[in-house]
Amino acid sequence: MTDGPSYGFDTLQIHAGARPDPATGARQVPIYQTTAYVFRDADHAAALFNLQEVGYIYSRLTNPTVAALQERMATLEGGVGAVCCSSGHAAQIMALFPLMGPGKNVVASTRLYGGTITQFSQTIKRFGWSATFVDFDDLDAVKAAINDDTRAVFCESIANPGGYITDLDAISAISDDAGIPLIVDNTSATPYLCRPIEHGATLVVHSMTKYLTGNGTVTGGVVVDSGRFDWSANDKFPSLSAPEPAYHGLKFHETFGPLAFTFHGIAIGLRDLGMTLNPQAAHYTLMGIETLSLRMQKHVENAMEVAGWLETHDAVEAVTYAGLPSSPYNHRVASICPNGAGGLFTVKLKGGYDACVKFVDSLEIFSHVANLGDTRSLVIHSASTTHRQLTPEQQEAAGAGPSVVRISIGIEDPADLIADLNQALNATK
């Protein structure tokens, strides 16, 4: 649905990438549960393997169900292409893989999901990569952190766990001046609330496990390519601009233009890293996206009502929801997330660590799980779980200190959620 009329989001979330099956007429995207695909002849096979023709070879690389999801995500984010993979963490590595090399670094926000901070501060060292963490509200610090070895800037549109909104326009201006790509994790916002490419992002990553699928059934990730970055402007990105030995000297950017990153992600990233999304997971995610706008509207409405009530409770010290007028990030909602500030935020309890534990254990409707973005309301004490590997200083910088509880508001009746929160907060006194 890239040609013809300009369709609205509600239409695209249902129809983008989905066509009646040519063999059967099936209206819903079929689950192509197959490993391999029959070639027409030897020349067809050779052309596919030589990247001279687009088609299906092997499901580690390409699969029709996954391809439909990739087209839908690229369309919703306003990109030229997308590569789906097995998880949000896989998507982050897939995004960095063509950009980085031994001795190179990424400048990353301090306000990130704890698992991302661990991945960037510890795991990527094994590749010879490194990360410099900076408060992205301090634009001068972001500029100062970028050096000749920096190959990407990384942040979240709505930060997990605090729900802080990043000034993407300001950050993209800095990355543009430095001639390096901006990667934005849009998991907490989804393209319904925020479209980072419109604010200058080069690449957008998601954990599709969260709001996109929306029902806690599968894990998946995606990298969406804006198609706007000039990979050949300098020699910083040889994976995309220089001859590729595995394809007889083919230059991805010269050959594929705006789709260079997407083709590299499939032809080399999935080929060699193997972080493949299975077709059944892709099918579940496609079905979840069909109701994305409806669910996100309800998430936002509930979060506004619940967060506003929490601010008034005498056991609560602070609520971080950006949708509240009291939030220092409230002024960014209209420009960065015009459809609302999402359904994720934290609550700081006056009783500290012990009160947080008692609070979590006393909730009945809220599920105590290591996930977010479900139709169900979820809760977790980040300092003792998702951010446990971080130092106390890192926890505080990420907005996940010991007296803080992360809340992911679902789509239940808000009165029921408030009643449950009230009894659990009263139990902490």
Q: What is the pLDDT of residues 286-296, one digit of tens each?
A: 999 999 999 99
For residue 303, being part of any structural domain is answered with yes
Would you state the pLDDT for residue 128? 98
Contact 226, 74 (CB under 8 A): no
For residue 169, being part of any structural domain is answered with no
Q: Are residues 185 and 258 in the same domain?
A: yes
Q: Are residues 208 and 260 in the same domain?
A: yes
Q: Look up the CATH number of the domain holding residue 218.
A: 3.40.640.10
Q: What's at 338, amino acid-wise? A: P
Q: Are residues 214 and 249 in the same domain?
A: yes
Contact 31, 283 (CB under 8 A): yes
For residue 313, being part of any structural domain is answered with yes
Segment 213-229, tens digit of pLDDT: 999 999 999 999 999 99
Would you state the pLDDT for residue 420? 98
When pLDDT is averaged across residues 376-397 and rounded to a whole number, the result is: 82
For residue 58, being part of any structural domain is answered with yes
- Give the rounded distance of the alpha carbon of 377 from its chain centre: 20
Closest listed residue to residue 400, CA positions, set 160, 237, 139: 160
Order the strands of the 378-380 sheet from edge to edge: 316-319, 344-349, 404-408, 378-380, 367-368
Q: Are residues 322 and 247 in the same domain?
A: no
203-207 and 221-225 beta bridge pairing: antiparallel
Would you state the pLDDT for residue 90? 98
Q: What proportion of the chain, given as a percentage, has pLDDT over 70?
A: 99
What 3 state SS string does the chain have?
A: CCCCCCCCHHHHHHHCCCCCCCCCCCCCCCCCCCCECCCCCHHHHHHHHCCCCCCCCECCCCCHHHHHHHHHHHHHHCCCEEEEECCHHHHHHHHHCCCCCCCCEEEEECCCCHHHHHHHHCHHHHHCCEEEEECCCCHHHHHHHCCCCEEEEEEECECCCCCCECCHHHHHHHHHHHCCCEEEECCCCHHHHCCHHHHCCCEEEEECCCCCCCCCCCCCEEEEECCCCCCCCCCCCHHHHCCEHHHCCECHHHHHHHHHHHHHHHHHHHHHHCCCCCHHHHHHHHHHHCCHHHHHHHHHHHHHHHHHHHHCCCCEEEECCCCCCCCCCHHHHHHHCCCCCCCEEEEEECCHHHHHHHHHHHCCCCEECCCCCCCCCEEECHHHCCCCCCCHHHHHHHCCCCCEEEEECCCCCHHHHHHHHHHHHHCCC
Domain boundary among 235, 258, 288: 288
Q: Are residues 87 and 56 in the same domain?
A: yes
Total residues found in the chain within this entry? 429
Q: What's at 221, amino acid-wise? A: G
For residue 173, being part of any structural domain is answered with no
More confident residue, 398 or 370: 370
What is the spatial distance between Cα 374 and Cα 390, in angstroms, rounded to a whole number? 25
Order the strands of the 105-109 sheet from edge to edge: 81-85, 221-225, 203-207, 182-185, 150-156, 105-109, 130-134
When pLDDT is averaged across residues 306-332 and rounded to a whole number, the result is: 97
Domain boundary among 264, 288, 312: 288
What is the spatial distance between Cα 202 and Cα 197, in angstroms, rounded to a whole number? 6
Residues 6 or more apart in contact with residue 126 via CB below 8 angstroms: none
Would you state the pLDDT for residue 391? 81
Q: Are residues 254 and 327 in the same domain?
A: no
- Mean pLDDT, the chain, rounded, equals 95
- In the predicted model, is pLDDT for residue 396 greater than 90? no
Q: Are residues 283 and 410 in the same domain?
A: no
Q: Are residues 296 and 283 in the same domain?
A: no
Residue 218's domain spans which residues? 9-99+181-288
For residue 123, being part of any structural domain is answered with no
Q: State the burial class of residue 283 (Cβ atoms within 10 Å of its Cβ: 0-12, 13-18, 19+).
A: buried
Tally of domains in the chain: 2
Would you state the pLDDT for residue 388? 72
For residue 162, being part of any structural domain is answered with no
Domain boundary among 288, 310, 326: 288
Contact 112, 159 (CB under 8 A): yes
- 109 pLDDT tier (thresholds 50, 70, 90): very high
- 338 pLDDT tier (thresholds 50, 70, 90): very high
Would you state the pLDDT for residue 393? 81
Q: What's at 189, amino acid-wise? A: A
Q: Are residues 229 and 309 in the same domain?
A: no
Q: What pTM did the predictor assign?
A: 0.95
For residue 220, being part of any structural domain is answered with yes
Q: Are residues 282 and 304 in the same domain?
A: no
Q: Are residues 350 and 333 in the same domain?
A: yes
Q: Are residues 308 and 412 in the same domain?
A: yes
Residues 6 or more apart in contact with residue 5 via CB below 8 angstroms: none
Would you state the pLDDT for residue 288? 98
Segment 160-219, tens digit of pLDDT: 999 999 999 999 999 999 999 999 999 999 999 999 999 999 999 999 999 999 999 999
Q: Look up the CATH number of the domain holding residue 327.
A: 3.90.1150.10
- In the predicted model, is pLDDT for residue 429 greater than 90? no
The pair phi, psi for residue 193, each rounded to 5°, is -95, -30
Contact 155, 133 (CB under 8 A): no
Would you state the pLDDT for residue 5? 64
More confident residue, 296 or 388: 296
Q: State the burial class of residue 254 (Cβ atoms within 10 Å of its Cβ: 0-12, 13-18, 19+).
A: middle
